[in-house]
Structure 1
Amino acid sequence: MSYYFYIITCMNWNTVLKVATGIVIVPISIIAHKLWPWWTQTPMPIRIISSIIVLPIVGIAAIVTPWWEGL
C-alpha cells in the first residue's frame, strides 16, 4: 500500500490531469472528427434531427481539445 501512496504523492499532477482528461477528450475528438464531414453532407432533415447529438460532441471537442493540448 505504501508503494502506491509513494507513486501518487510523487507524480507530476500536470501529467495526471492530462491522462485523466485525455481518457474523456480523445474519444470525443475522434467521434467529432468522424461525425463532422458526414453531418455537413447529409440532407437537412437528418441534420436537424441529429444536431442534438452531433453539435454538442463537436462543441465539446472544439472547446476542450486546445486546452488539453496546452497543458
Structure 2
Amino acid sequence: MEKQLENAIHTLIDELKDEDINTRVLYAKSLGVISTNLTDEKLEGVFNALPKEQEWSYFDSYKKAASKQQQKLVVH
C-alpha cells in the first residue's frame, strides 16, 4: 500500500507540469487531499515539488480535507 501511495503522489507531481491550467489545479487539489495522510517527511517532499502557481489550490484542498477528517473524529 505504501508503494502505491508513493506512486500516486509521484504521478500527481509529474502532472503538475501539464499545459492545461485546469488540469494542474485538479492535480494540486488531489495532492492536498492525499497529503492529509502523509508523514512529515513525505509532506515536505510534496510541498517542495509544488510549483508556486499551484500552492493555493493545494493548501485549499488540504485544509478542506483536514477539516473533514476532524469533523469525522468529533462525530465518532
User: Taking CA–CA contacts closer than 8 Å with sequence separation of 6 or more, which of the two structures ends up with the larger relative contact order?
Assistant: 1
Q: TM-score, normalised by structure 1?
A: 0.37
Structure number with larger C-alpha Rg = 1
Report which of the two has the higher share of helix: 1
